[in-house]
Amino acid sequence: MSEKRSARPSYSASASFSDGFSGVQGPQPTGEMDRPSLEAEDWPALVPLLLEQRELLRRLVAAQERQNALLEELVHQISAAQRQRQQELTQWKRANPQLARYCRKAAEILARVQNEFLASLTREIQEQGDALLEGEFLLTELIDRFGPRMVHLNGLLQMLSQLSSAPSPTSASPSP
């Protein structure tokens, strides 16, 4: 005990599996020979640290369990809203079969329009390639010309696609 020790020496726990017991034998030095060995009088100083560590781990596990419960509840709420929306769409399609067929045809036509629009956009980008990189004006002009149309076209296409898709047999039956 005559050698000077640091305030918190580094120790690791080693497990003994040779005797069939998987418990911890106790802290042992992790470094070179110049590190102090753990002696009996060191244990009382380590007990509060070990208790604090155990309490922190318990709190961490409890927080993770609360987080998991909240995530499960969130998934349940989202899936319930999606099921409700799907049931409403299925009811609307049954109540308006002719309109659902019109929506399907309109979605098919609008999908072709979208393809042409995308082809036009990509041609424009290829033609202006380097100029788009060099100047902000051309990029802004390109976004102003194509951006709003693309956003609205996508919104219309999504809406028509949802209203026109054939109801699936699983969504027709009410879920518990």
Cβ-in-10-Å burial (0-12, 13-18, 19+) of 107 comes to buried
The contacts of residue 121 (CB under 8 Å, 6+ apart) are 146, 150
Dist. CA 139–CA 142, nearest whole Å: 5
For the cut 60, the answer to whether the pLDDT of residue 161 exceeds it is: yes
H or E element, residue 27: strand 24-29
Percent of the chain with pLDDT over 90: 47
- Joined together, the tokens standing for residue 77 give 């709420």
Flag whether the pTM goes above 0.85: no
Strand partners, 176: none
For 68-109, what is each residue's pLDDT tens digit? 999 999 999 999 999 999 899 889 899 999 999 999 999 999
142: left (phi over 0), alpha (psi -120 to 50) or beta: alpha
- Joined together, the tokens standing for residue 150 give 């693309």
H or E element, residue 14: strand 11-15
Strand partners, 104: none
